[in-house]
């Protein structure tokens, strides 16, 4: 253990000249708490050591957990190294975009399953589970949607879409994100519901209807409600957690066939106001409804961290380990998926790029598919998790 005074000297030495600006940023940030939780402060005392070389899926399986990742079909089909990495590390695969309306529905009367079928086949060939994302979302609707869908025909499209898509993969899906991101208390709607075409055209019961349709077409799949921005301890997230819990309670009390909550977990390293107590109690409230929990889209944005990749990797890894050690304590958590596996393909490089232009490093493997400290952090969290 370092003493506090020598720790900051050691930290500067470790970071080198390129990390100096980062160190200053950390020091300044520390004064404006809550920013950078334990990861920045205790960073140098963490070794991220991992026993053995077992891939993540093996470590997860040993604890009764499922580990996997999302991938786009284009990337996967054209990149043998990505294929090998996914096959090595993942026990479950989820199409990043290919099962969304925008991709499946080029025209109102046409379904194009070519890319999602390719991914399903890839999963089958490599004995991976396959996961569906997502049947009902307010985003990534096709261009024609606005022109064609209205109050009169919305239910027809809704029923047809859910039934056709779930039937196509019936018996093959581990789980379906039936409804995605339906809560947004800032939208000012009843029960914290998000403004969406589905709410507008079908009313609040569209959520229940979606689960009933999916269960009818694919009675074997685990039906999940997937949501973002539930993890941190700000007021906004608090209100959202409460609204989500109420939604789940209502669905359960009406006998809706819903089996799990998906917590997306797009974490942001420079924020980090994670309140373990509040998160644990939310997870336990969800579990007490008889629902399982999946961590569905885990990544850690390093957008605003110091430039030095070594410094970023340590902080990102710390966020991974801190977060997973809290959520895996809850036995209802049965699966962890990253949103992408390697930094080569991540939505964050276009959605939240760094202002210095340096490539982002949010995932367990680097852009050459080599495990980073984030991989170690995940491996450690799985190794330390209780058995399911
Ligand atoms: O990773 C997906 C990206 O390629 C798409 O352009 C984007 C469109 O909004 O959606 C991304 O995936 C999202 C997922 O479907 C739902 N949760 C948030 C994910 C990241 O935005």
Q: What is the pLDDT of residues 69-128, one digit of tens each?
A: 999 999 999 999 999 999 999 999 999 999 999 999 999 999 999 999 999 999 999 999
Cα(25)–Cα(355) distance, integer angstroms: 15
Contacts 24+ apart (CB under 8 A), 23-31: 23/306, 25/306, 26/306, 29/270
Q: What is the CATH number of domain 4-384?
A: 3.20.20.80
What atom in ligand 1 is closest to the CA of residue 264?
17
Task: Identify the residue whose C-alpha is closest to ligand 1 atom 6.
Answer: 347
Pocket test of ligand 1: the residue of 69, 95, 96 to mutate, having most ligand atoms within 8 Å of its CB, is 96
Length of the chain: 388
Residue 8 has pLDDT above 80, yes or no: no
Tens digits of residue pLDDT in 350-371: 999 999 999 999 999 999 999 9
Tens digits of residue pLDDT in 129-143: 999 999 999 999 999
Token couple for 62: 């040993």
Q: Identify which has the larger pLDDT, 333 or 270.
A: 333
Task: Identify the residue whose C-alpha is closest to ligand 1 atom 16.
Answer: 180
CA of 216 to the centre of ligand 1 (A): 27
Q: What is the mean pLDDT of residues 259-287?
A: 93
Angstrom distances, CA of residue 49 to CA of 38, 380, 383:
18, 8, 11
Angstrom distances, CA of residue 337 to CA of 256, 347, 373:
25, 15, 17
Residue 188 has pLDDT above 60, yes or no: yes
Predicted local distance difference test score (pLDDT) of residue 25: 40
Q: What is the sign of the dihedral through the CA atoms of 309, 305, 333 and 219?
A: negative
CB atoms inside a 10 Å sphere around CB 179: 29
208 is a catalytic site residue:
no
CA of 226 to the centre of ligand 1 (A): 12
Pocket test of ligand 1: the residue of 115, 140, 184, 345 to mutate, having most ligand atoms within 8 Å of its CB, is 140
CA of 244 to the centre of ligand 1 (A): 20
204-213, 224-233, 266-275 — which is least confidently predicted? 266-275
Angstrom distances, CA of residue 196 to CA of 26, 99, 186, 189:
40, 19, 13, 10
Tens digits of residue pLDDT in 34-84: 334 444 445 677 889 999 999 999 999 999 999 999 999 999 999 999 999
The DSSP symbol for 205 reads T
Token couple for 59: 């470590």
Short-list 350, 352, 347, 346, CA closest to 372 = 346
Q: Identify which has the larger pLDDT, 5 or 337.
A: 337
Give the chain's mean pLDDT.
90
Task: Identify the residue whose C-alpha is closest to ligand 1 atom 3.
Answer: 347
Q: What is the mean pLDDT of residues 220-240?
A: 96
CA of 140 to the centre of ligand 1 (A): 9
Residue 270 has pLDDT above 90, yes or no: no
Query: Which position among 181, 231, 271, 321 bears the catalytic label?
Result: 181
CA of 100 to the centre of ligand 1 (A): 10
Task: Identify the residue whose C-alpha is closest to ligand 1 atom 21.
Answer: 347
CA of 25 to the centre of ligand 1 (A): 30
Q: What is the sign of the dihedral through the CA atoms of 55, 58, 60 and 62?
A: negative
In the block, which residue shows the tokens 């997870």? 283
Residue 204 has pLDDT above 70, yes or no: yes
Cα(258)–Cα(264) distance, integer angstroms: 17
Q: Identify which has the larger pLDDT, 16 or 250.
A: 250
Pocket test of ligand 1: the residue of 74, 94, 97, 225 to mutate, having most ligand atoms within 8 Å of its CB, is 97
Question: Which residues line ligand 1 at a C-beta cut-off of 6 Å?
Answer: 96-97, 139-140, 180, 228, 264, 297, 347
Query: Which position among 96, 227, 297, 330 bears the catalytic label?
Result: 297
196-200, 267-271, 334-338 — which is least confidently predicted? 267-271
Short-list 369, 359, 388, 365, CA closest to 378 = 365
Confidence of residue 274 (pLDDT cuts 50, 70, 90): confident
Predicted local distance difference test score (pLDDT) of residue 46: 86
Short-list 45, 27, 43, CA closest to 35 = 27
CB–CB of 168/125 below 8 Å? no
What atom in ligand 1 is closest to the CA of residue 133?
15
What atom in ligand 1 is closest to the CA of residue 139?
9
What atom in ligand 1 is closest to the CA of residue 72?
4
CA of 230 to the centre of ligand 1 (A): 16
What's this model's pTM, rounded to 2 decimal places? 0.90
Confidence of residue 19 (pLDDT cuts 50, 70, 90): very low
Residue 378 has pLDDT above 60, yes or no: yes
181 is a catalytic site residue:
yes
Cα 44-343-125 angle, rounded to 5 deg: 120
Q: Is residue 268 within a helix (H) or strand (E), and if so which, with residue range? A: strand 266-268
Pocket test of ligand 1: the residue of 347, 349, 363 to mutate, having most ligand atoms within 8 Å of its CB, is 347
Q: What is the mean pLDDT of residues 193-216?
A: 98
Instruction: Kindly write down the DSSP assignment for every residue of 71-117, as one continuous string.
Output: E-HHHHHH-HHHHHHHHHH-SEEEESSTTSHHHH-SBTTB---HHHH
Q: What is the mean pLDDT of residues 324-338?
A: 98
């Amino acid at each position: 253990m370092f003493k506090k005074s020598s720790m900051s000297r050691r930290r500067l030495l470790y970071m080198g000249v390129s990390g100096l600006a980062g160190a200053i940023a950390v020091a300044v940030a520390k004064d404006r708490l809550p920013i950078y939780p334990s990861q920045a402060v205790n960073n140098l005392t963490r070794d991220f050591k991992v026993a053995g070389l077992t891939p993540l899926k093996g470590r997860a399986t040993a604890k009764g957990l499922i580990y996997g990742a999302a991938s786009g079909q284009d990337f996967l089909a054209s990149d043998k190294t990505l294929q090998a990495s996914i096959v090595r590390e993942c026990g479950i695969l989820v199409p990043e975009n290919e099962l969304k309306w925008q991709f499946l529905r080029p025209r109102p009367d046409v379904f194009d399953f070519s890319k999602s079928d390719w991914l399903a086949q890839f999963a089958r060939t490599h004995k991976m589970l396959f996961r569906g994302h997502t049947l009902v979302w307010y985003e990534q609707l096709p261009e024609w949607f606005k022109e064609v869908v209205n109050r009169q025909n919305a239910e027809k499209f809704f029923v047809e879409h859910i039934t056709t898509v779930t039937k196509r993969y019936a018996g093959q899906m581990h789980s379906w994100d039936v409804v995605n991101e339906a809560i947004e208390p800032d939208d000012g709607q009843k029960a914290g519901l998000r403004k969406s075409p589905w709410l507008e055209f079908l009313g609040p019961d569209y959520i229940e209807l979606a689960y009933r349709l999916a269960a009818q077409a694919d009675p074997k799949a685990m039906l999940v409600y997937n949501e973002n921005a539930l993890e941190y301890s700000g007021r906004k997230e608090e209100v959202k957690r409460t609204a989500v819990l109420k939604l789940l309670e209502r669905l359960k009390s009406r006998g809706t066939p819903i089996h799990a909550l998906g917590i997306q977990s797009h974490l942001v390293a420079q924020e980090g106001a994670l309140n373990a107590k509040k998160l644990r109690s939310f997870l336990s409230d969800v579990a007490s409804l008889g629902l399982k929990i999946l961590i569905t889209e885990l990544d850690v944005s390093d957008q605003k961290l110091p430039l030095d990749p070594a410094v970023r990797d340590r902080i990102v890894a710390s966020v991974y380990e801190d977060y997973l050690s809290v959520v895996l304590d809850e036995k209802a958590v049965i699966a962890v998926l990253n949103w992408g596996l390697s930094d080569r393909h991540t939505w964050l490089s276009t959605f939240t790029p760094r202002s210095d232009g340096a490539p982002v490093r949010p995932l367990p493997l680097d852009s050459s598919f080599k495990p980073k400290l984030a991989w170690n952090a995940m491996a450690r969290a799985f190794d330390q998790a209780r058995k399911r």
